[in-house]
Chains A and B, each alone.
Chain A
Amino acid sequence: MQVIDSSKTFDVIIVGSGAGGGMATKILSEAGFDVAVVEAGPFFDPALDEHRTQLRWPWESPRRGASSNRRSFGDFDAAFGGWNIEGEPYTKEKDTEFYWFRSRMLGGRTNHWGRISLRFGPLDFKRKSVDGLGDNWPIGYDDVKPYYDKVDKLIGVFGSNENLPNDPDGFFLPPPKPRLHELYYIKGARKSGVPVIPSRLSILTKRINNQRGSCFYCGQCNRGCSAYADFSSGTCLIFPAQKNGGKVTLFNDSMVREVTTNTEGKATGINYINKLDRKEYHLKGKIIVMAASACSTARILLNSKSALHHDGLGNSSGLVGRYLHDSTGASRSVLIPDLIDRKTYNEDGVGGMHVYTPWWLNGKKLDFPRGYHIEVWGGMGMPGYGFGFNPNDLNKVVGGIVGGYGDSLRDDVKKYYGAVMGISGRGESVPQRENRCEIDNEVVDEWGIPVLKFNYKWTQHEVKQASHMQDTFEEVLTATGGILLGDKPGADREYGLTKPGEIIHEVGTTRMGDDPKDSVTNKFNQMHDVENVFIMDAGPFVSQADKNPTWTILALAWRASDYLVEQVKKRNI
């Protein structure tokens, strides 16, 4: 097959349209660059009725919103794809586990995430200095703070200034009032000495400009907002960049195979497969921004082999794909007897929790390093597929018949509706060199591109952290006055620790650093080996913190884009 060449040379080619790619699109197009955005999935705009899932009812879906391989989080979740994408497999090393969530669509996984928008704190950039494990970032909080501030104002995040040393204040919109089950959480947590503060989500409780609306409290951010009142890369970065008159060309359904290089080893463009005609095209660019997600970027780099880059592009350190790490997770739930047979009212609120617990034990002596935050869920949500399964199982804990048939099943379902609350921990793991994704030399996807093989194992640090979570959950949930549900998972089940990848916070595959032998990019996300390639997804993260990565991806992509513009002006690239 012949590669079809383009005559045009773009100033910048951005691979991927998620958080990092979207930010790069906005900043670089506004700086006057002619930008190509190459996205492996179709166009998506939640304001278009044919794309809209927001405010739809369960019966509009013949499977009542159930999940499928086409949408892992159900028919009404905005994110296409998920854990498995037909025709695009990945493999795992024997006896290891990794779950890889991918969204092929404009905006990528910013269409899926829970909008939890936490800044890293000063300690999060220097964890090695605290516990001697892993590595410090080459930058600190002060380097990123101005960009976090700008992201807060550009995109909008609600929260509250609490003056907590490692959970920095910002430019917050006011948070919504807690829901009833969240008051029970606050009560239980306070009794247990666990602090609770308003959550920090990128949802507009007030307007921030004339282009985006204010939240109308349907609780469905995961479905994508037709009023653009929450963050996603398309609605908040790419569309505004286009409307501002920026030179932005979107290449949808375009699966990047590799970055092409010249004889000096400098990048010259990319090769991609147009999924609609299945033909391969070459796009020329002076600068390449990789923002395909930590693992997809690693895959493309490792597949971009040449005489000068024989182990993959920019991989002289051998670290591309290594230090892959995800957040830890564990959960527990409780039945709150006060909430049995509750009076119904609309408590949809915003899409996600209104309150949360930031990590509260920095500096305390514990048998594991680093920490976790606690998220809260519950309430009288909209039913979807699975609602009503085992309708009276909770009779096991409060007494009554389990099973049966007849009109009483109706009453059982209504009795327990909104009476269960759950909490989940999301924690920081310690990055390991051996945890990695690499090219599986035996398997290709339907586009003929060699796929990733994962090789990931938790260490005792993460297992012990999950054990601490379970002890905390038990104490807090008991203090709510509720009845704990399920067994407390013990050592045999690694304390309910989620599998690597399941929290969808995978980062670290192209980590940044000052030493080219020990890192893939410099502290401005620029590849050590290839000066005209930048990586603006979560690949350059040295460590993940217990914070969700998106806000830091956005801040670092803005910072890297500013640096890129400056370097071009200085004619250094």
Chain B
Amino acid sequence: MDRRDSLKSLLVGSVAGGLMITGCAPNAEIEVQEVPSIPGYGRNEKEKLHDEKVLAEIYLNEHELETIAVLCDIILPSNADFGSASDAEVPEFIEFIVKDMPTNQLPMRGGIAWLDSQSNKLHNLEFKKLSDAQQKAICDTIAFPGKTDPTLIPGENFFTRMRNLTLTGYFTSQMGVKDLDYKGNQPGVWDGIPQDILDATGMKYEPEWIAKCVDQSKRMDIAEWDDDGNLLN
């Protein structure tokens, strides 16, 4: 994975590379390194500064990012309907979160080094260069908590962290939210559980309870009460 590309895709809507601009003075071309930024999401000034600082940092190196991309797609490959974790830009998310949450840094760096060491021991090759089958064979030894050989526990811990970050990165991506089929986060009107769902679960609303609830056809009317607190409309 190209590091510059990975950063570019993370920095949606901004120019991450060098930008050539021409000044007013003749022959005065200056290369301006644009500050990485992300579109606003309701940040206050302190938060903007923090984000800018983290975006400008580099922690994981090329090799580590490549290994993470390989692991992401072992953990969550594509299927007939949706892409893989790296299609959903999970490695880019992990690149950021490791900088943003420094408690991830040592476990990720050490975990990747452990994985390469294990791989070298078995195949005299680093993990990312192994065949699919060889990679999966190693994963099989560290991916099932409770079944791991005690000598491989550091690998299990790393794999569990990778699985968590991969899954959370995926299901909080645009692709993952679609895959999950989450249907909210939009203006609407809640008027109760759909009837087919009630029927399927055998649950039902009590008429006395529903009688207290809002009549959504009157939701835009301004409320009026009598002196005893009875709603008149």
Please list the residues of chain A having a beta carbon within 8 angstroms of any beta carbon in chain B. Answer: 42, 49-53, 55-66, 68, 70-71, 75-76, 80, 86, 105, 149, 152-153, 156, 158, 160-161, 169-180, 183-184, 187, 198, 205-210, 214-220, 338-339, 342-350, 380-391, 401-407, 409-410, 413-414, 417
13 CB contacts below 8 A, A to B, read: A53-B41, A58-B172, A65-B172, A75-B41, A153-B225, A156-B223, A161-B230, A173-B231, A176-B213, A217-B189, A339-B201, A381-B184, A385-B168
When the two chains form their complex, are residues A382 and B182 in contact, meaning their CB atoms are under 8 A apart?
yes
When the two chains form their complex, are residues B174 and A402 in contact, meaning their CB atoms are under 8 A apart?
no
When the two chains form their complex, are residues A385 and B75 in contact, meaning their CB atoms are under 8 A apart?
no
- Give the distance to chain B from A290, nearest Cβ to Cβ, in Å: 25
When the two chains form their complex, are residues A209 and B193 in contact, meaning their CB atoms are under 8 A apart?
no
Please judge, given known A-B contacts A63-B97, A391-B163, whether A382 and B185 are in contact too, CB under 8 Å: yes
When the two chains form their complex, are residues B190 and A348 in contact, meaning their CB atoms are under 8 A apart?
yes
With a cutoff of 8 Å between Cβ atoms, the chain A residues found around residue B160 in the complex are 403
When the two chains form their complex, are residues B174 and A59 in contact, meaning their CB atoms are under 8 A apart?
yes
Docked pose: A383 CA to B162 CA in angstroms: 18
Closest to A391 in B: B167
When the two chains form their complex, are residues A346 and B186 in contact, meaning their CB atoms are under 8 A apart?
yes
Docked pose: A104 CA to B184 CA in angstroms: 30
When the two chains form their complex, are residues A347 and B184 in contact, meaning their CB atoms are under 8 A apart?
yes
Out of A75, A173, A180, A402, name the residue touching B214 (CB < 8 Å): A173
Docked pose: A457 CA to B200 CA in angstroms: 49
| B57 on interface, CB distance cutoff 8 Å | no
When the two chains form their complex, are residues A346 and B184 in contact, meaning their CB atoms are under 8 A apart?
yes
Beyond A70-B44, A206-B220, A414-B181, list 18 extra A-B contacts (CB 8 Å): A57-B174, A62-B54, A68-B50, A68-B100, A76-B42, A86-B46, A169-B229, A176-B214, A218-B185, A218-B186, A345-B194, A346-B184, A384-B172, A387-B168, A403-B144, A404-B144, A406-B77, A410-B82
When the two chains form their complex, are residues B201 and A180 in contact, meaning their CB atoms are under 8 A apart?
yes
Out of A53, A57, A346, name the residue touching B177 (CB < 8 Å): A57
When the two chains form their complex, are residues B194 and A50 in contact, meaning their CB atoms are under 8 A apart?
no
* Residue of A53, A152, A405, A413 with highest tally of chain B CB at under 10 A: A405
Chain B interface residue count, CB cutoff 8 Å, equals: 82
SS class of chain A's interface: helix, strand, loop or mixed? loop
Out of A62, A70, A75, A160, name the residue touching B96 (CB < 8 Å): A62
With a cutoff of 8 Å between Cβ atoms, the chain B residues found around residue A385 in the complex are 168, 172
When the two chains form their complex, are residues B214 and A70 in contact, meaning their CB atoms are under 8 A apart?
no
Please judge, given known A-B contacts A62-B93, A65-B172, whether A183 and B203 are in contact too, CB under 8 Å: yes
When the two chains form their complex, are residues A53 and B42 in contact, meaning their CB atoms are under 8 A apart?
yes
When the two chains form their complex, are residues B167 and A210 in contact, meaning their CB atoms are under 8 A apart?
no
- Give the distance to chain B from A264, nearest Cβ to Cβ, in Å: 41
| B23 on interface, CB distance cutoff 8 Å | no
Docked pose: A371 CA to B188 CA in angstroms: 37
| B40 on interface, CB distance cutoff 8 Å | yes
Please judge, given known A-B contacts A391-B163, A409-B75, whether A383 and B172 are in contact too, CB under 8 Å: yes
When the two chains form their complex, are residues A170 and B229 in contact, meaning their CB atoms are under 8 A apart?
yes
Q: Which of B204-230 contact A (CB under 8 A)?
A: 205, 209-210, 212-215, 218-223, 225, 229-230
When the two chains form their complex, are residues B168 and A70 in contact, meaning their CB atoms are under 8 A apart?
no
When the two chains form their complex, are residues B184 and A172 in contact, meaning their CB atoms are under 8 A apart?
no
Out of B50, B139, B212, name the residue touching A175 (CB < 8 Å): B212
Please judge, given known A-B contacts A70-B50, A214-B220, A217-B189, whether A383 and B214 are in contact too, CB under 8 Å: no
With a cutoff of 8 Å between Cβ atoms, the chain B residues found around residue A169 in the complex are 229
Please judge, given known A-B contacts A70-B47, A216-B189, A413-B171, whether A62 and B229 are in contact too, CB under 8 Å: no
Please judge, given known A-B contacts A58-B172, A177-B213, A417-B180, whether A347 and B223 are in contact too, CB under 8 Å: no
When the two chains form their complex, are residues B79 and A410 in contact, meaning their CB atoms are under 8 A apart?
yes
When the two chains form their complex, are residues B182 and A177 in contact, meaning their CB atoms are under 8 A apart?
no
Docked pose: A218 CA to B218 CA in angstroms: 19
* Residue of A161, A177, A208, A414 with highest tally of chain B CB at under 10 A: A177
Please judge, given known A-B contacts A345-B194, A391-B163, whether A60 and B221 are in contact too, CB under 8 Å: no
When the two chains form their complex, are residues A346 and B42 in contact, meaning their CB atoms are under 8 A apart?
no
Please judge, given known A-B contacts A176-B190, A391-B163, whether A403 and B201 are in contact too, CB under 8 Å: no
When the two chains form their complex, are residues B187 and A216 in contact, meaning their CB atoms are under 8 A apart?
yes
With a cutoff of 8 Å between Cβ atoms, the chain A residues found around residue B39 in the complex are 60
Docked pose: A344 CA to B170 CA in angstroms: 19
Q: Which of B19-69 contact A (CB under 8 A)?
A: 38-42, 44-47, 50-51, 54-55
- Give the distance to chain B from A157, nearest Cβ to Cβ, in Å: 11
| B2 on interface, CB distance cutoff 8 Å | no
Please judge, given known A-B contacts A383-B176, A389-B164, whether A207 and B185 are in contact too, CB under 8 Å: no
